[in-house]
Amino acid sequence: MLEIEHLARFSLVIVFVFYSLLSAQVYPDKNIDTYLRSGIKFILDENYSAAEKKFNYLKTEYPELPFGNIYLAATKIAKSLDFYKPFNEDLIFSYLDSASEQADKLFEANDTLIWNVYFKALSAGYYAYFQAMRGNYFSAISKGINSIKDYNQCLKLNPKFYEAFIAIGTFNYWSSSKTLGLKWLPFVKDNSSGSISMLEKAISKPAYNKYLAAYSLCWIYLDNNEPNKSIKLAKNILNEHPKSRLFKWVLANGLKRTNKAKAVEVYNNILNSFNALPDSLPVVKIILKHKIAMLLYDLKKYKSAQELCSEIILKKKSLNENELDIVEERLDRVIELNDKIIDILSK
């Protein structure tokens, strides 16, 4: 997997994690609803082991429903992307395939029950997003189209199933963004403008979708070169969830376009959160240190930038093959930056 696309893929799965819960609005079984909400909150807080416990409970206690399998897959994907580690593809696909089978059985039993249509949309949507994580965009779009078709069916059954607009808006925007060179295909259209409007309307709703809409829009604003809008949204969410690493990532990405010194502070905060974990996580730390070094270079803090580059270069020897594959291109850029700084400092 190319590291340059890694964070964008992480953003996609987190967006989907949130909208899949929020699209459900309030599931009729309060116990299921409680476990879903607490499990997804654990994902937001990057407490993956606690999230897995919640979703394993759903898988065991409600074997006819796809919730458990879907969110176990979501947790595995999110953790791998957060920590910059390879996917356990066999396990994730086993969860997704089981979820799809469960959803199909429910749909075949009653295709007019909104929750059965929702499960079908949800399972297809997760499969689509995992294919996007893997860079298989044609498969992602194909599955995604089926998912959106079912979400539209949810709206026909209940026009007040508002959170479906989040799923539709998110998919339409990113499918347009990722396929700009494929507009000649009959099923690929540029829906980006309408998607943004749809998401902006959704964020004003006093519903559960606030975090999803905010996070999705943060990345979309950055994609559209509107960093100030992204920064404002990210800060609003961090006021409520100050430890959320995923919103710190998007905040830092906005700040590096408007206030490099503040971006350094946020990236250092994220780095410190990883330093506090028992896992060494060398890849994500290399990426963060390089991002900080580049910003320090732009701020003409050459000595500090060079120290970080040296730390990264020394760390290269201890990386395994998978880790090297992820950061190989970045390491080349670190060496290039280091040489440039040494040349400046020697004058």
Q: How many CB atoms lie within 10 A of CB 290?
A: 21
Taking Cα atoms as reference points, which of 72, 119, 104 lies closest to residue 91?
Answer: 72
CA distance 335 to 79: 29
CA distance 34 to 55: 11
Could you tell me the two tokens for 269? 């905060």
Q: 62 with 36: CB under 8 angstroms?
A: no
According to the model, what pLDDT value does residue 250 have? 93
Domain ranges of the chain: 3-243, 259-347
According to the model, what pLDDT value does residue 128 have? 83
According to the model, what pLDDT value does residue 11 have? 56
Question: Which are the contacts of 108, defined by CB distance < 8 A and separation ≥ 6?
Answer: none
According to the model, what pLDDT value does residue 193 have? 65
Q: At the top level of CATH, which class does the domain 3-243 belong to?
A: mainly alpha
Mean pLDDT by 10 residues, the chain (347 residues): 47 57 69 90 88 97 95 90 89 96 97 92 86 79 85 87 72 63 43 70 57 78 93 90 88 97 98 92 95 98 97 93 91 97 91
CA distance 5 to 3: 5
**What Å distances lie between residue 303 and 21, 278, 297, 299, CA to CA?**
47, 30, 9, 11
According to the model, what pLDDT value does residue 183 have? 44
According to the model, what pLDDT value does residue 19 have? 53
According to the model, what pLDDT value does residue 204 have? 66
Orientation of helix 30-44 relative to helix 67-83, angle to 10° = 10
CA distance 340 to 25: 53
Name the amino acid, one letter, at 217.
L
In the chain, which ranges are E strands?
Answer: none
